[in-house]
Structure 1
Amino acid sequence: MKKFAFAACTALFAATCSFGADRATLFKSCVACHGAAADRPYLGGKVPALKSIASAERLESLKGYKAGTLNKYGQGAIMKAQTARFSEEDLVAINAYIDSL
């Protein structure tokens, strides 16, 4: 039983670590505009720092940009291009990563 518990904990730890690494990797494409800590306002302060936006609102915005239905601050086209390669799970992971910063 102890071996099973150890193996289960090890697997859970490995999955958590790899998920965390994936989230950070996914977020790298956002860093140039939003900063490594998601704390950089964009467009001279028109776009607030991502960390200052409520998590649920930020996720809905990401989904809206990906769908092409959102054009906040005139950034719809560039954000649609940025989010096009991400799955919905990727967007959730990116959002969770921002929450963890």
Structure 2
Amino acid sequence: MLDKGKALYLKCAGCHGASAEKPALGKSLVIKGWSKEQIVSALEGYKNGTYGAVMKGVMKSQVSSMTKEDIEAVAEYISKF
């Protein structure tokens, strides 16, 4: 699952940083240090429109095609930073 998560995270790294250390586009929370559960909750919320503030629209389009398995995999990967 970590290999899949790593591959999926490549799409995220441009904004969030190689180790999830940056606020995306200078506007979001830093996700480094978040638990897998926090990340899954945020990504699912972005996908269904129930989570997010300034970056809600951007993130909804980023996660719209992600499956539950994709979300679990990338969340597992990010939670290891």
Q: Does 1:81 align with 2:77?
A: no
The residue identity in structure 2 corresponding to 1:92 is: E
Report the TM-score, using the length of structure 1 for normalisation: 0.70
Q: Which of these residues, 38, 56, 63, is aligned with residue 57 of structure 1? A: 38
How far the C-alpha of 1:43 sits from its partner, in A, is 4.3
Report the TM-score, using the length of structure 2 for normalisation: 0.84
The alignment of Structure 1 onto Structure 2 pairs a total of residues equal to 81
Matches within 5 A, 1:10-49: 19-44=1-26, 46-49=27-30
Question: Equivalents in 2 of 1:83, 1:48: separation in Å?
Answer: 17
Q: CA RMSD in A?
A: 1.6
Question: Equivalents in 1 of 2:66, 2:6: separation in Å?
Answer: 14
More helix by percentage: 1
Q: Which has the higher contact order (CA 8 A, sep 6+)?
A: 2
How far the C-alpha of 1:42 sits from its partner, in A, is 2.9
Match of 2:71 in 1: 91
How far the C-alpha of 1:91 sits from its partner, in A, is 0.4
**Larger-gyration structure (1/2):** 1
Instruction: Calculate percent identity across the aligned residue pairs.
Output: 32
